[in-house]
Amino acid sequence: MTYTPPTTEQLFVLNHIANVSAMADHERFADATPDMVEAIVTGIGEFAADVYAPLNRVGDVHNPQWNNGKVTMPAGFKEAYAQFVEAGWGSIDGPTEYGGQGLPFTLAGVVTEALGTANMGFTLCPILSAGAIHALMAYGSEEQRQTYLPKIVSGEWNGTMNLTEPSAGSDVGALRSTAEKVTEGPNAGLYKIKGQKIFITFGEHDLTDNIIHLVLARTPDAPEGTRGISLFLVPKYRLDADGKPTISNGVHCASIEHKMGIHSSPTAVMVYGEDEDCLGELIGAEMGGIRAMFVMMNNARLMVGCQGVQIAERALQQAQRYAAERVQSSLAGSADRTPVTIDHHPDVRRMLWRMRSQTEAARALIYYATAQTDFGHLGDEDAAARAEVLIPLAKAHATDIGCEVASLGIQVHGGMGFIEETGAAQHYRDARIAPIYEGTNGIQAADLVGRKLGLAGGAAVRSLIDDIARDAKDHPALAHLAESCRHVTDYMMGASTPDRLAGSYPYLTMLSTATCGWLLLKQRRAAQAELAAGTGDSAFLNAKIGSTNFYLDQIVPAAEGHYAAAVAGDAALPAIPAIA
């Protein structure tokens, strides 16, 4: 289960899709020079391979242990995390005024990709911290920022996101946790938090000396539903007079879940204010919790999409190595009956090319989405609107790809893929959560047709389709898919809500595939230009052309098959018959 950082591929996509060099033209990202970008991509790849990758199987087999409210991580994890903090890898895009490096979010995404490919479960810890940073920067007070951000940015403390409750999953508005304002005494102005939250990633562990929980709760007399929700900062330990986290704050981990995968990530049941007062600070305005939380969630959704890339890359590498070593049968139709490695057999080659092209497609989609987010932060309103459209595509489609590629990786291994010791099964088990958390992929599709489709009266989505169609004139299959996406968009704009929702997932898949095809087509042209100029790594460039050809010739045409379902409407989905 070795991991080789795909550094050449990452730099190629950063240059030709993310356009990271243009970010350095702005004062805010002036330090993102080509040398700096290459140093970061190379350095994090080496760190991930040397420090995080060896712990991947350790964490899968030897899970974090809960005992009387405390969680102990497997051997080696605390030391690895300390190295992560010391090297500053968590501070890449952190605000400089609070100890961060102020580099583009896109580069932080590459750091997350490398670490997550090496060890997906472990890397969930800094993912949520990044979301907490963004939420505090957007809505926190200056006092809150000064108190908490330096430690979260450095990674010395981690952040969590507390939405889900036993009775409130996707329906966040049904939550029951409460927050009552303290009006007298030394804690006046704070809120007493009471309630239970479930599925809290790294809600308890021994990697840091404090954990900063961002908790959704309802104040007294707040209206029902999401309008009445507020967001609170709730530390595991409050700070003493010296600024040290020593004061117990009524935060208790009742248990951790036994899960199908991502065993390195302790998923906690958190209880607030059960045995002692739990005090929290209001973030932003009262009953403004959903607005504040969406800042955190959008960041997290892109990084969960990145997990699709992570697990696809790891499964691809393992399957390709196995196929190059496993000798089985001679080639059918060949006069030579000598057994060959299975990567010579046509169907195995088909699976490997599909794995490779889908992995590269997902990476391009994630890098493009994070880059548009960065350009949006630089003041480009069109890029900001494009990023809004891309978020549901990136989260849903990239995680679907992660599951597909991990499944194909097992298939390439044959019967050995079903045996735990080979490690191929772990990738599939780890991948399967990504389409579920941070808003299921069905919710992403609903977001696409419910919110993103209506941005600027539909212009935000249509401009993406226009860009794809404009560049695809010399590729009939991609051009046709773009036009099909346009037709479905027109249908969706005039359809009822039930009809839009019924076709939302097929539509998301079509639009995502068209976007990925477009981004790969751009890369093929860049690769061809570099080959013609005699620059670059010819083996890599030819492989890039090969994977793009496979995607455009085989995956793009297949996406047309979703058209009928996208426009079938709600009548095509009658009520499910009862089980007899």
Mean pLDDT value of segment 41-65: 97
Active site residues: 438
Is residue 398 a part of any domain in this protein? no
Q: Are residues 507 and 564 in the same domain?
A: yes
Give the dihedral of Cα atoms 466, 470, 473, 478; nearest 10 deg: -40
- Intra-chain end-to-end CA distance of the chain, in Å: 46
Q: What pLDDT, on a 0 to 100 scale, did the predictor assign at position 1?
A: 63
Query: CA angle at residue 556 from 550 to 560, to 5 degrees?
Result: 150
Using one digit for the tens of pLDDT, what is the confidence trace for 268-296?
A: 999 999 989 999 999 999 999 988 888 88
Give the dihedral of Cα atoms 163, 167, 170, 174; nearest 10 deg: -80
Q: Sign of torsion, CA 379 382 383 386?
A: positive
Residue 239 identity: L
Using one digit for the tens of pLDDT, what is the confidence trace for 410-431?
A: 999 999 999 999 999 999 999 9
Do residues 255 and 66 lie in contact, with contact meaning Cβ atoms separated by under 8 Å? yes
Q: What residues have CB less than 8 Å from 552, skipping those under 6 apart?
A: 475, 477, 478, 517, 520, 521, 524
Q: Are residues 106 and 51 in the same domain?
A: yes
**Among 265, 287, 309, where does a domain finish?**
287
**Among 154, 169, 185, where does a domain finish?**
154
Q: Are residues 230 and 199 in the same domain?
A: yes
Is residue 130 a part of any domain in this protein? yes
pTM score of the predicted model: 0.96
In this predicted structure, the answer to whether residue 264 has a pLDDT above a threshold of 80 is: yes
Could you list the residue range(s) of the whole structural domain that residue 251 is in?
158-287
- The closest alpha carbon to 226, from 147, 302, 168, belongs to 168
Q: What pLDDT, on a 0 to 100 scale, did the predictor assign at position 25?
A: 96
Q: Are residues 150 and 182 in the same domain?
A: no
In this predicted structure, the answer to whether residue 333 has a pLDDT above a threshold of 80 is: no
Determine which of 19-33, 123-137, 471-485, 490-504 has the lowest per-residue pLDDT on average.
Answer: 123-137
Mean pLDDT value of segment 171-199: 94
Q: Are residues 147 and 36 in the same domain?
A: yes
Residue 109 identity: G
Q: What pLDDT, on a 0 to 100 scale, did the predictor assign at position 244?
A: 96
Q: Are residues 140 and 176 in the same domain?
A: no
Is residue 34 a part of any domain in this protein? yes
Is residue 299 a part of any domain in this protein? no
Q: Are residues 91 and 194 in the same domain?
A: no
- Tell me the C-alpha distance between 366 and 520, whole Å: 12
Q: Are residues 133 and 20 in the same domain?
A: yes
Q: What is the mean pLDDT of the chain?
A: 96
Q: Are residues 41 and 70 in the same domain?
A: yes
Q: What pLDDT, on a 0 to 100 scale, did the predictor assign at position 293?
A: 81
- For the domain that residue 265 is a member of, what is the CATH number? 2.40.110.20
Domain count, the chain: 3
Q: What pLDDT, on a 0 to 100 scale, did the predictor assign at position 174?
A: 84
Is residue 443 a part of any domain in this protein? no
Q: Are residues 145 and 271 in the same domain?
A: no
Task: Give the containing element (helix H, strand E) for 497.
Answer: helix 497-502
Q: Are residues 46 and 141 in the same domain?
A: yes
Is residue 396 a part of any domain in this protein? no
Do residues 114 and 244 lie in contact, with contact meaning Cβ atoms separated by under 8 Å? no
Mean pLDDT value of segment 98-122: 97
**Among 154, 181, 214, where does a domain finish?**
154
Is residue 492 a part of any domain in this protein? yes
Is residue 402 a part of any domain in this protein? no
